[in-house]
């Protein structure tokens, strides 16, 4: 258990080991945030299984390919919390250190997957044209890197801005974007705010020609969604998604000096509520007989994209990307959201299993293939477990 307190973390260290082990679930103490309200509806009931998943007997693939115990996997990946859900039945729920079921945890780039589902809602409502170019909605970007990109290319990460996503390189644009958003101490030459930062980006390759994972692309998408939906991003998220999943608590999203949400990575919530969002998506977007996210949007997402993503560290071998979700191409039709330092939302349609996992790994991106293999193994084991409450 960590001996650090909130006074030990700051904007200068909350993303740096070992301080991130506290910082990732004390974000609201470090970075300005705005609330995404859960609404007035009752929380979706999740019930413990009468025969939970037996961690003592469970093994998963390890980083060297051989089997390791599930306990070793959780320890090696510095797990803060993990929840395994089949239907509305909790087959496993574990918390570590001071992290509890009532704690919020930032989900990092799983935030992108929320944006992808929100886009599907607005597109189905006729508010969002996937073939339109970015300046159709955001003329402020008509002279920049995203000027020729379409909304669909934003969603599939096939826009091609000049943007370096090297997490361990302080001069990379991903770090400059963090500083603009208030996530890291700013330098004298930095712009202030996510959207001024996006507007000053220049240079691009050929949009639509290949996969290029880029956090700035999701922040452009969020800007487009605000203009298409006619409301702020947090309000759109509340109105169309968060108030529908049966969350037990509000979520949050970090904001910059101008109040602009950091849509690419800034959402945070309880572990059970992340699992509830996954349940909604795995249920083809339906919640108590109401279509929240269009089923055909989720079906298109699950079919994957046109370009291989193997070169990207968050991807499975042979994987693709669609609508801000990763598609590993396994025999269960799984798909997932992932964030740095080991945040995962794993959905296995064949097993009907959702796995939500919060972590604080030593490196921003580490052992991704082994992590994915382990989650897939847990989902398959969960499918063989009785789920009666």
From 109, 113, 145, 351, active-site residue? 109
Closest CA relative to residue 199, chosen from 175, 178, 216, 179: 216
b/e map 143-173, b = 16+ CB within 10 Å: ebbbbbbbbbbbbbbbbbbebebebeeeeeb
Selection from 257, 251, 159, 258 nearest residue 204 by Cα:
159
Q: How many residues does the chain have?
A: 389
User: What single DSSP character describes residue 43?
Assistant: P
Contact at 8 Å (CB) between 354 and 276?
no
CA dist 86 and 61 (Å) reads 22
Q: In this structure, what DSSP letter does residue 293 have?
A: S
Contacts of 153 (CB under 8 A, 6+ apart): 159, 207, 208
Q: Is 101 a catalytic residue?
A: no
- Which residue is listed with tokens 């990946």? 77
Positions annotated as catalytic residues are: 109
């Amino acid at each position: 258990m960590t001996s650090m307190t909130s006074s030990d973390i700051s904007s200068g260290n909350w993303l740096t080991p070992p301080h991130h082990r506290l910082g990732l679930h004390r974000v609201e103490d470090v970075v300005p945030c705005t609330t995404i309200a859960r609404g007035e509806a009752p929380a979706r009931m999740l019930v413990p299984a009468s025969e939970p998943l037996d961690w003592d007997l469970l093994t998963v693939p390890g980083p060297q390919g051989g089997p390791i115990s599930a306990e070793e996997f959780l320890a090696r990946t510095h797990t803060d919390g993990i929840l395994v859900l089949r239907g509305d039945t909790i087959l496993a729920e574990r918390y570590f250190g001071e992290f509890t079921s009532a704690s919020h945890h930032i989900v990092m780039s799983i935030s992108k997957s929320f944006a992808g589902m929100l886009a599907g809602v607005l597109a189905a409502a006729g508010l969002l044209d996937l073939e339109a170019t970015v300046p159709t909605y955001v003329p402020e970007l008509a002279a920049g890197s995203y000027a020729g990109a379409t909304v669909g290319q934003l969603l599939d990460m096939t826009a091609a801005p000049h943007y370096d996503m090297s997490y361990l390189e302080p001069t990379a644009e991903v770090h400059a974007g963090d500083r603009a958003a208030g996530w890291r101490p700013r330098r004298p030459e930095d712009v202030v705010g996510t959207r001024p930062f996006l507007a000053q980006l220049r240079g691009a390759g050929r949009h639509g020609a290949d996969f290029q994972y880029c956090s700035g692309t999701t922040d452009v998408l969020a800007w487009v969604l605000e203009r298409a939906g006619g409301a702020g991003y947090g309000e759109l998220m509340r109105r169309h998604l968060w108030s529908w999943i049966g969350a037990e608590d509000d979520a949050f999203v970090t904001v910059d000096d101008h109040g602009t949400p950091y849509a690419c990575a800034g959402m945070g919530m309880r572990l059970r509520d992340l699992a509830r969002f996954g349940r909604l998506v795995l249920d083809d977007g339906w919640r108590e007989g109401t279509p929240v996210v269009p089923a055909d949007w989720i079906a298109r997402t699950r079919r994957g994209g046109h370009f291989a993503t193997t070169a990207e560290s968050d991807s499975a071998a042979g994987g693709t990307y669609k609508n801000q979700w990763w598609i590993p191409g396994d025999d269960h039709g799984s798909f997932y959201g992932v964030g740095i330092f080991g945040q995962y939302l794993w959905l296995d349609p064949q097993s009907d299993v959702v796995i939500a996992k919060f972590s604080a790994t030593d490196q921003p991106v580490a052992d991704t293939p082994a992590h994915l293999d382990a989650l897939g193994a847990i989902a398959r084991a969960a499918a063989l477990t009785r789920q009666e409450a």
